[in-house]
Amino acid sequence: MTPQRRCESIRSLDKHCSLFESMAKPIEPPTLRAKLLVKGKVQGVGYRAYATRVASQRGLCGGVRNLDDGRVELEIEGPKDQILILINDLKIGPPASRVAAVEVEWNPATGRFSDFQIWY
């Protein structure tokens, strides 16, 4: 085999190896954004602290705030499956809360959040 042929074979092998390496990488779920409005007895009961704790445990980013009308608003970004689990947790809430409803609005993620915070 000539040196030129050997190089062509190596380049061809490199292409195949990089193809297999990219196929072996785990597929990350797409990141989405969810805006949640939580209704019920959700202010003055530790709901924002609870939401922050469970969202952080799920690796989600965004924030939570009280609204003037008595609701709590969350903006969350992360994998949809983790957001759905969080929504189920938020329907339960901390012991003193009474959640009446959780409204969800889905959008593409913006990437503007790096952690989860309580907003004032």
Residue 88 annotated as catalytic: no
Residue 48 annotated as catalytic: yes
Catalytic residue among 66, 98, 107, 112: 66
First-to-last CA distance in the chain?
72
Which of these, 69, 78, 77, 79, lies nearest to 100 by C-alpha position? 69
Cβ atoms within 10 A of the Cβ of 58, count?
Answer: 17
Q: What's the token pair of residue 119?
A: 């907003």
Catalytic residue among 11, 33, 48, 71: 48
Catalytically active residues, by annotation: 48, 66
